[in-house]
Amino acid sequence: MKMGRKTTAFLLGVLIVLMLPACSATTEKRYEASFLELFDTASVIVGYAKSEDEFAKYSQKVYDELEVYNKLFDIYNDYDGINNIKTINDNAGIKAVKVDKKIIDLLSFSREMYEETDGKVNIAFGAVLSLWHDHRTAGLDDPEKATLPAYEELEARNQHIDIEHMVIDEEASTVYLQDPEMSLDVGAIAKGYAVEKVAQFIQKEGLKDGMVSVGGNVKTFGNKYDEKGKKVPWTVGIQNPDLSSDQKSLYNLGLSGYSLVTSGVYERYYTVDGKQYHHIIDPETLMPAEYFLSVSIICEDSGMADALSTAVFNIPYEEGSKMVEGLDGVETLWVFSDHTMKYSSGFEKWCNYDKEK
């Protein structure tokens, strides 16, 4: 199979999973490609194509497009010739930064999600999140010396999270942070948003039936095919937050044109004095949220699902339930600390596959 140099470096596998007839007279096969080093996680694309070479072209395009978003949305690294989110943060209180329209669109969408969630998802929360990130990184590097951020410092940084100080000039394509102490962190939205945009892009490129996943942010489009060549929804599992359990998925969902995003305590954490501290920080307490083990969101837009999974994770069940029940086409599964579960009123319609035993 022919692959470009970049794909060769990062492609872990392009596999024929199973040969199935397409809806037309031609025969297509199901392929899967996976790669690393984008968004600091694993990415997977699954789809149907007439040949390995055809699918390799699709997977290369997905990789290339994800790489663009990865560099633009990065808050930690600089790239030659690119103004990204880090560039905006580095110039807080100094000057407006001219950026790619993809960044303008992300930040505008993030502001919409801030309003939609009553501030429970705030990309201007970076000053607080960066302090937690530094302590978590140090704690993982040297577990015996792991520490928590001082609450006084968290409170001080929390004075610099006003999203109204993020000034977007769409005509000039610039972003300016008025507060020199503030910073943007798009981690609660960026992966899901990128997955949504890339899925839209690859469909326009000709891939009609597929699934894109970046770090568990899943977007489905079209259908998969059963052994008789019949169109059926894609099967997507909701991960069990108890990683030691033999039951890896809590539910298997049948999705077509919809997204699934889960936020959970098992994703990134470190340990201090025997207690685990995960990376999802409650904007009210400035500490890791303790309401749930995980929250899963189903809706059409992967960016919205990503934002909502964080927002709902950070609020009590009653408040979160009221939020999602007020949104059209959004369903939720909550997993509580005692491993009990609740779900929204329309969740069961997606569970047309047996729950794993």
- Please state the domain extents for the chain: 31-75+82-350
Between 230 and 5, the higher pLDDT residue? 230
pLDDT band at 244, cuts 50/70/90?
A: confident
**Binding-site residue ranges for Mg(2+):** 188, 306, 310
| Distance separating alpha carbons of residues 228 and 220, to the nearest angstrom | 21
Per-residue pLDDT tens for 15-58? 333 334 444 434 789 999 998 889 989 999 999 999 999 999 99
The pLDDT of residue 178 is above 80: yes
Interval 111-134: pLDDT, tens: 999 999 999 999 999 999 999 999
Average pLDDT of 56-64? 97
Query: What is the predicted pLDDT for the residue at 65?
Result: 98
How many helices and strands (H and E) does the chain possess? 9, 18
Per the CB < 8 A criterion, the answer to whether 233 and 255 are in contact is yes
Q: What is the pLDDT confidence band of residue 1, given thresholds at 50, 70 and 90?
A: very low
Cα distances (Å, whole numbers) of residue 229 to 22, 46, 71, 252: 6, 17, 39, 21
Q: From the annotation, which residues make up the binding site? A: 188, 306, 310
Which of the pair, 215 or 302, is modelled with greater confidence? 302
Q: Would you state the pLDDT for residue 274?
A: 94
The SS3 call for residue 285 is coil
**Band of residue 193 on the pLDDT scale cut at 50, 70, 90:** very high
In terms of C-beta density within 10 A (0-12 exposed, 13-18 middle, 19 or more buried), how is residue 17 classed? exposed
Residue with tokens 């950026």: 99
Question: Using only C-alpha atoms, what is the Rg of the chain?
Answer: 21
Residue entry with tokens 């408040």: 319
Provide CATH code, domain 31-75+82-350. Answer: 3.10.520.10
Strand runs labelled E in the chain: 11-21, 27-38, 41-49, 97-98, 166-169, 174-177, 210-214, 217-221, 224-225, 231-232, 234-239, 249-255, 259-264, 269-272, 275-278, 292-299, 331-336, 341-343
Phi/psi-derived region of residue 286, left when phi > 0, alpha when psi is between -120 and 50, beta in every other case: left
Span 63-74, average pLDDT: 98
Element (H, E) at 194: helix 190-204
Indicate whether 354 pLDDT > 70: no
Cα torsion 71, 194, 20, 9 to 10°: value is 10
CB 253, CB 237: distance < 8 Å: yes
Q: What is the mean pLDDT of the chain?
A: 90
pLDDT in tens, 297-309: 999 999 999 999 9
- 26-40, 141-155, 213-227, 261-275: least confident range: 26-40
In the numeric block, the tokens 């998925």 are attached to 249
Reported confidence tier of residue 228, pLDDT bands at 50, 70, 90: confident
| Partner residues linked to 290 by β-bridges | none
Angstrom distance (rounded) from CA 98 to CA 116:
27
Give the bridge partners for 177, in sequence order.
166
Would you state the pLDDT for residue 23? 43
In 3-state terms the chain splits into helix, strand, coil percentages (rounded to 5) of 35, 30, 35
Cα torsion for 13, 18, 20, 22, to the nearest 10°? -20
Q: Identify the three-state secondary structure at position 1.
A: coil
What is the predicted pLDDT for the residue at 16?
32
End-to-end CA distance of the chain: 39
